[in-house]
Amino acid sequence: MKSRILVINCGSSSLKFALIDTASGDAVLTGLAEKLGLAEGVISFKHESGKDSQPLTEASHDAAMHAIISRLRSLDLLDSVKAVGHRVVHGGEHFKASALIDDTVVAEIEKCAKLAPLHNPAHLLGIRTAVQQFPGLPQVAVFDTAFHQSMPEQAYLYAVPMSLYRDHGVRRYGFHGTSYRYVSAEAARMLGKPLAETAVVCAHLGNGASAAAILGGKSVDTTMGLTPLEGLVMGTRSGDIDPGVFGYLASELKLDVNGVTDLLNKQSGLLGLSEISSDCRELEDAALAGDAAAILALEVFSYRLAKHIAALTVALGRLDALLFTGGIGENSSYLRARVMKQLGFLGLKLDEAANNAFIRGKAGRISATDSVPALVINTNEELMIAQDTATLAGLDA
């Protein structure tokens, strides 16, 4: 009997899942339930036998899980599910690694919910639903923040009264850790070096974007902070901003805290700058057609990214490789080229032909032979979650 892990990434209105084979690491069945909580949800499936989607009349997380179970049963896969792994965005300072879920772990995730009010409650809903529907199966939580718990104080502390850190947990936590863990290990393999001897900067560029300095396989600094708003320009998030803007906007626009938070999280970034779209691909098409607003938005994005990558090398003291991953990092030769050109002083030189020819799904090098290596690596957070889950569930042997 094959052993497989069901990986769940539960959002407030969505549930993404993948069934991962523990031996091969392949995704046997993947899918996404969307518009949960709205009038009509929908769930889509992808399997070697094809792709399809169906409406979810109840549009709840429970109904989505029922639909997944019924599909697993009809494909004769249900009995192969040996454990469930959950992505959890915020593990605070408590979780420095993945954890086998029990009541204490659930209570700690609940405590962290004030730090990620949009994410952790949704993950808890996913955990509760899965525990109910897969009674007796081990369930594991894998945290986006855990990888960055190795950051030193000088990197994670804000220069605010220490009592805010002590009493309220105000510090930089960082996110995308599961992706960084996978990509940095892959990079070591591609560089032919032991992970413990590598010093890399990795840019995870998707709708949410961050970069991290990873020394010997451990995070030593990253661009996101207490929340995933700090750092790089993102699809709809501003990234770094003068904190003074917050009070200024509140008084000028008569907005409350939620109003300003919403503006900086949902109406800013590439969308706010371009006034066209938050989607990098659409902006690239517009930029290539000569649209000045799209060009400007992508310039701000790439300049901010280059500036942060250079800053992160301070934490490393050297640079063995620059890594690109995430939807934008894996696909946008346009942005990769712009960032690389601005970082020539770090010894990075683009191989334009390799950059333009790069095909998604294949990890590869986009730097010239006499350059510090720049690698594009397809991230695989589901695989990392499945591996941690298998290990903690004792399924490794």
Smallest gap from residue 133 Cβ to ligand AMP (A): 27
Binding status of residue 34 toward ligand AMP by CB under 6 A: no
Supply the minimum distance, in Å, between the C-beta of residue 292 and ligand AMP.
Answer: 19
Question: Tokens at residue 330, please?
Answer: 């894996």
**Contact residue for ligand AMP among 120, 219, 332, 355 (CB under 6 A):** 332
What is the rounded CA–CA span in Å between residue 247 and residue 264? 13
| Single residue of 19, 280, 322, 366 touching ligand AMP by CB under 6 A | 280
Tell me whether residue 147 or residue 156 sits nearer to ligand AMP (CB atom).
147
- Of residues 202-261, which lie at the interface with ligand AMP (CB under 6 A)? 206-207, 235
- Minimal CA–CA distance to 9: which of 141, 118, 108? 141
- DSSP 3-state of 229: coil
Q: Nearest 10 degrees: CA dihedral of 109, 110, 115, 116?
A: 80
Q: Does 133 bind ligand AMP (CB under 6 A)?
A: no
Using the contact rule CB under 6 A, the part of the chain among 180-188, 274-282, 290-298, 309-317 near ligand AMP is 274-282
Residue of 52, 144, 291, 396 marked active site = 144
The Cβ of residue 81 has, within 10 Å, a number of other Cβ atoms equal to 18
Distance CA 366, CA 340 (A): 10
CB atoms within 10 A of CB 226: 18
| Sole window of 136-144, 276-284, 344-352, 384-392 interacting with ligand AMP (rule: CB under 6 A) | 276-284
Q: Which CB atom, from 95 or from 147, has the smaller least distance to ligand AMP?
A: 147
Member of 31, 41, 138, 327 binding ligand AMP (CB under 6 A): 327
Which is it for strands 218-222 and 199-205: parallel, antiparallel or unpaired?
unpaired
Q: Is 144 a catalytic residue?
A: yes
Residue type, 155: A
Size of the site for ligand AMP (CB under 6 A): 12
157 φ, ψ to 5°? Answer: -85, 140
* Nearest CA among 305, 263, 298, 264 for reference residue 282: 298
- Cα separation of 324 and 332, whole Å? 10
Residue 50's SS3 state is strand
Nearer to ligand AMP, 92 or 272 (CB): 272
DSSP 245-256: HHHHHHHHHT--
Residue 331 lies near ligand AMP (rule: CB under 6 A): yes
Residue 140, CA distances (Å) to 28, 97, 102, 253 in order: 20, 11, 9, 44
Smaller CB distance to ligand AMP: residue 149 or 302? 302
| Ranges assigned E (strand) in the chain | 4-10, 15-21, 27-34, 41-47, 50-56, 81-88, 99-100, 139-143, 199-205, 209-215, 218-222, 321-325, 364-365, 374-376
Which residue's CB comes closest to ligand AMP? 327
Q: Which residue number, 319 or 374, has a Cβ lying nearer to ligand AMP?
A: 374
Stretches 75-83, 135-143, 252-260, 280-288: which one binds ligand AMP (CB under 6 A)? 280-288
Does position 284 interact with ligand AMP (CB under 6 A)? The reply is yes
Q: Which stretch binds ligand AMP (CB under 6 A): 53-61, 250-258, 322-330, 366-374?
A: 322-330
Interface segment toward ligand AMP; rule CB under 6 A; list 116-124, 150-158, 170-178, 320-328: 320-328
**Contact (CB, 8 A) for 230 and 243:** no
In the complex with ligand AMP, which residue's Cβ is closer, 65 or 286? 286
Site string for ligand AMP, 134-163 (x = CB under 6 A): ------------------------------
Q: Shortest approach of ligand AMP to residue 205 CB, angstroms?
A: 7
Using rule CB under 6 A, residue 366 touches ligand AMP: no
Kindly state the smallest distance separating residue 237's Cβ from ligand AMP, in Å: 12
Provide the annotated active-site residues: 144
Binding site for ligand AMP (CB under 6 A): 206-207, 235, 279-281, 284, 326-328, 331-332
